[in-house]
Structure 1
Amino acid sequence: MAIRSDTRTPADVVTTLRQGIGRVSTEVIEEIQARIPEYARPSDEVYIKVIRMAVEQAIYGFLDRIENPDAAWDPEPFRMIGRGEAAEGRNLEPLQTALRLGARVGWRRLTEIAEPLGLSPQSLYDLGEAIFVYLDQLADAAAEGFDEAKAHAAGEIERRRTRLLDLLLSQPPAGQEAIADLAKAAGWRLPKTVACVALGDQHGAYRRPALPPDVLTGLERAHPCLLVPDPRGQGQAMDVALRGLKAAIGPAVPLAAASTSLRWAGEALELSARGVLPRGLLRCADHMATLVVFKDEELIGALAETRLAPLAHLRPTQQDRLAETLLAWLRHGRGAGEVAARLHVHPQTVRYRLRQLEELYGDQLADPDIRFELEIVLRARQALGGTT
């Protein structure tokens, strides 16, 4: 930008302006501290020194541009200031206000000395325009540094949370002190209870769920999972976040037992894939009996071979009808009318089947232990579609 003066060159004008940097800097700092509470630290000499350095750097940078408009400009110092604002936990509004205040003080000072400097009205107008162009560039540089620092901090927090999830799910469990230290560094409050979510193959484009901010995510793990703190208070939010996904929510457990919750969730997901449990979003708490029954399928198979032996000689269709009737009788009471209502058949049909079962099982149906074992194997048989 050319400065038109009747008596002096642009270099002379800039030299004169440089001589007043100390006074202008003091005015700018006083204005900033008076009007922006975030920067008002009169007793902090180090902080005041940093502000003065930033103000003087901005003024020197502006005068350098006036003297040599084609010189390369280094935005890094104001990027650093933007990073500092992020580190202080502020947004950019106080800094932007400070820049505007600095520009106002600078413009006021220019108008005061325009006549002694021999500046024409056009030159004064050009300087004012240059101030606000420069102001925008400083603000842009600070915003770049601010965004960079925020992204870095977010990435670091995410890395710490990933490590925290690894510690919580490790076997054997990590020490409480190590977990507490990492949780603090990750900005994660230690909850009393947690529930883990096992995520299944979504068969297509994977949709990352929109999760509450305190949920720890392990979406990049070999078996993707989530860890939900205080799950009883987040049920609805998790239902919304996981809607449409193949997922199983493990039981709520103490924090130290997080891996147990994930193990149950994983087993529920496997049973869902086999058709034993429903597809879609599952809650282990709603299917605990089935999960327990299928914990050791070899043992269930051996028990079924023993307890269903009286039905073994019958045709498959007869086995299915009698097994269905016996399970309904065990679950819903011994009245033929209630069992018939559950099975949607005539009561006389139920009475006939029950007489067959009495003939086949004899006194065994009077033994509560045998009835309990029969219900276990019949539930397993029903879940597998009658193949046990």
Structure 2
Amino acid sequence: MASKSDTSDTRISADIVKTLRAGIGRISAEVIGEIQARIPEYARPSDEVYIKVVRMTVEQAIDGFLDHIQDPAAPWDPEPFRMIGKGEAAEGRNLEPLQAAMRLGARVGWRRLTEIADPLGLSPQSLYDLGEAIFIYLDQLADAAAEGFDEARAHAAGEIERRRNRLLDLLLSRPPAGSEAISDLAKAAGWRLPKTVACVALDDQHGTCRSPALPPDVLIGLERTTPCLLVPDPNGPGQARMLETALRGYLGAIGPAVPLPAAASSLRWAAEALELSGRGVLPRGLLRCTDHMATLVVFKDEELVEALAEVRLAPLAHLRPTQQDRLAETLLAWLRYGRGAGEVAARLHVHPQTVRYRLRQLEELYGDQLADPDIRFELEIVLRARRAAALAARPL
């Protein structure tokens, strides 16, 4: 059963509701005037449609408050103000202008209540209770608008992310997608088409590859079979340092810079370098393909290199493994650094006389073959591969 005070409050609330409903148009006009005068974001005097929307919103807010004080137990529908929050997000604003508009509306409403307090015989306590109700209602409106705003922003961010993922799929497809399709999707994703790109292949053997902190123009594909990044204009100012900083502690390989239509090739080379790094052929950590192009070429077809090695290293086959290693090491240094025994000795950290002895052995084993530039080139290929394989086989 309702108490006497409850009955009194209901009667007073009904009187207030009746009085305020009669003047809702005047109050709405005053609120709108205050909002447009004080909040630049809502000052569009020449936009009749926009003014109509603002008026409907204000009237809806006032009407909702009157319904609330008339029947506090009635359910409240926050959806209209969730939609307002979504609209603010769609306009590209934050919530500060809307919150300021709500505060202005509450101020005008409070002012009008104080003006009619004496004619209605409101006690100070009743006026206080109504003022508190205004600000509780204001909080409800703000919360509903914030929910709608956050939902719209999350949806927009999710849609942009989906478009960026689809764009990455197109850029890395083989054969490459058409330039028009890529251009249209890049525009929809808010991504500027660069002239060159580089792909980064990341190691995620444990499925725990976390997203690095990167600029928004870097496309991220950590859910792909080969987790990767696509970096626009990789040779631009500060790009190298940006990658080194963002990927510190990661295992990965940075592919060469290529024209945008060749993005898939950059990723393929990066993935091959990463695989060689995992085998120990290339260093661990974050490596750049451009620093290891010769190794990538050599290991592109290992069976072919092995077949070539059987032919070119046949003169060493009858020697003991330790002899093979010493002569192969000396021959590679001789091919790489010149034919002077002193230079080769310095590179190998042995005595020049030791190098001369080994070179005489090699001349006896290979004869005129060492004078043929094509054979020397093939020898360097197989000897580089042999050395890389030996390094990879060493225990860590």
TM-score norm. by structure 1 comes to 0.95
Aligned-pair identity in percent equals: 83
Given candidates 314, 322, 339, the residue that maps to 1:317 is 322
Corresponding position of 1:88: 91
**Distance in 1, Cα, partners of 2:228 & 2:295:** 22
**AA in 2 matched with 1:235:** A
Residue pairs, 1:292-311, within 5 angstroms: 292-311=297-316
**Distance in 1, Cα, partners of 2:153 & 2:241:** 30
Residue pairs, 1:108-257, within 5 angstroms: 108-203=111-206, 205-233=208-236, 234-257=239-262
Structure 2 gap ranges (5+): none
Structure 1 gap ranges (5+): none
Corresponding position of 2:375: 370
Given candidates 283, 288, 291, the residue that maps to 1:286 is 291
**AA in 2 matched with 1:345:** V
Contact conserved, 1:169 with 1:258, CA < 8 A, in 2? yes
Contact conserved, 1:83 with 1:146, CA < 8 A, in 2? yes
Given candidates 359, 366, 372, the residue that maps to 1:361 is 366
**Distance in 2, Cα, partners of 1:387 & 1:135:** 68
Q: Deviations over 1:38-73 (max 9, x none)?
A: 111111111111111111111011111111111111
Q: Give the secondary-structure state (helix, strand or coil) at the position aligned to 2:310.
A: helix
Matched, 1:69 2:76: no
Given candidates 99, 103, 108, the residue that maps to 1:100 is 103
Greater shift, 328-337 or 318-327, is seen at: 328-337
Greater shift, 334-343 or 185-194, is seen at: 334-343
Matched, 1:276 2:259: no
* Structure 1 residue 249: Cα displacement: 1.2
Contact conserved, 1:2 with 1:10, CA < 8 A, in 2? no
**Distance in 1, Cα, partners of 2:79 & 2:149:** 12
* Structure 1 residue 223: Cα displacement: 2.2
How many residue pairs match? The answer is 387
* Structure 1 residue 374: Cα displacement: 1.2
Distance 1:372 1:67, change over 3 A: same
Greater shift, 205-214 or 119-128, is seen at: 205-214
**AA in 1 matched with 2:204:** D
CA RMSD across the alignment: 1.9
* Structure 1 residue 387: Cα displacement: 10
TM-score norm. by structure 2 comes to 0.93
Greater shift, 61-70 or 300-309, is seen at: 300-309
**Distance in 1, Cα, partners of 2:172 & 2:207:** 28
Distance 1:3 1:119, change over 3 A: farther
Contact conserved, 2:281 with 2:392, CA < 8 A, in 1? no
Contact conserved, 1:3 with 1:10, CA < 8 A, in 2? no
Greater shift, 165-174 or 81-90, is seen at: 165-174
Contact conserved, 1:14 with 1:67, CA < 8 A, in 2? yes
* Structure 1 residue 5: Cα displacement: 7.8
Q: Deviations over 1:332-368 (max 9, x none)?
A: 1222122111111111111111111111122222222
